[in-house]
Amino acid sequence: MIYFRIMKNIAIVGATGYTGSELIRLLNKHKQAKVICITSTSQAGIAIKSLYPTLDSDLVLEEYSIEKMKSLKIDLVFLATPHGTSMQFAKELLANNIKVVDLSADFRFADPVVYEKKYPKHTSPELCSEAVYGLTEVYRKEVAKANLIGNPGCYVTSVLLPMIPIKDKVSDIISDSSSGVSGAGVKVEEQMKAFIELADFKAYGISSHRHQIEMETYLDAKIEFTPHLLPIDRGILSTIYFKSKSSLEELQSILENFYKGETFVNFLKDGDPKVSDVAWTNKCVFKLYKGTKEGNFIMVSVIDNLTKGASGQAIQNMNVMFGFDETEGLV
> How long is the chain?
331
Catalytic choice (37, 128, 154, 284) = 154
Single-letter amino acid, residue 244 = S
Phi, psi angle pair for 300, to nearest 5°: -115, 125
Separation of alpha carbons 327 and 331, rounded Å: 7
Which residues, in sequence order, are CB contacts of 273 under 8 Å at separation 6+? 237, 285, 286, 287, 300, 301, 302
Phi, psi angle pair for 319, to nearest 5°: -60, -45
Which residues, in sequence order, are CB contacts of 205 under 8 Å at separation 6+? 226, 227
Buried b (16+ CB within 10 A) or exposed e, 81-114: bebbbbbebbeebbeeebbbbbbbbbbbbeebeb
Q: Does 154 participate in catalysis according to the annotation?
A: yes
Q: What positions carry a catalytic annotation?
A: 154
